[in-house]
Amino acid sequence: MLAVAITLPSVWFAEPIVVILFGYGQMGADEVRQIGELAQICFWTLPGVALSGMAMAMMNAKRQARTLLLLTGASAASLLVLAVPGVLLGDARLITAALPVAQGLLACLLLATVWLGRGRARLPVSRIYAALAGVILITALSVTTDIILALEHDVIRVVLAALSAGLSMVWVMVVLDPRKGGQIGKAHI
């Protein structure tokens, strides 16, 4: 969920992030735009990476290294297959899009393996929905602020993205804190 908190604002603010990291007069506007488009696609990989990491830790703890290796190999093979259309068409966006799709596939395979071997989940689904809803709301507020204020300065836009990601991460940690038992303040989720 923390990866989602970073991903959502990063996708919207990818171009100013690229300008600050690579721009500053060293690249043309078209080049920055192209890198920004590819970065937007790459940011969608983060939730899959986070979920895969958690599932990998659980599988390693259960000594399921062989299954983990097989599923990771299948994901790597799928990445190569998914990238073929982009290579054939010479489209960097299609090649780049293969990465989050393959990572998402790996995350689904690993989580399904962990879930099937585990029984039932310990965290109520309502809390996961509340965490996701908060992340979406915070991101929507930052995107709306960016649009309404027509922010031009890239540093201000990146600070807005960082604030959005930070607030989202705090929200996720508060909502999913296992010590809370589903309580957020006095409201019960």
Q: What single string gives the DSSP state of each residue in 130-189? A: HHHHHHHHHHHHHHHHHHHHT---HHHHHHHHHHHHHHHHHHHHHHT-GGGTTEETTEE-
Residues 11-51 have pLDDT tens digits of: 767 777 777 676 656 777 788 788 888 888 888 888 888 88
Give the predicted TM-score (pTM) of the model: 0.58
Using a pLDDT cut of 90, give the percent of the chain over it. Answer: 0
Q: Which residues contact 110 (CB under 8 A, 6 or more apart)?
A: 51, 52, 55, 56, 59, 68, 71
Q: Which residues contact 139 (CB under 8 A, 6 or more apart)?
A: 8, 9, 12, 164, 168
Residues 54-104 have pLDDT tens digits of: 888 888 888 888 888 888 888 888 888 888 888 888 888 888 888 888 888
Residues 103-159 have pLDDT tens digits of: 888 888 887 787 766 544 455 666 766 777 777 778 777 877 777 777 777 778 778
Positive or negative, the CA dihedral 136, 83, 52, 123 is positive
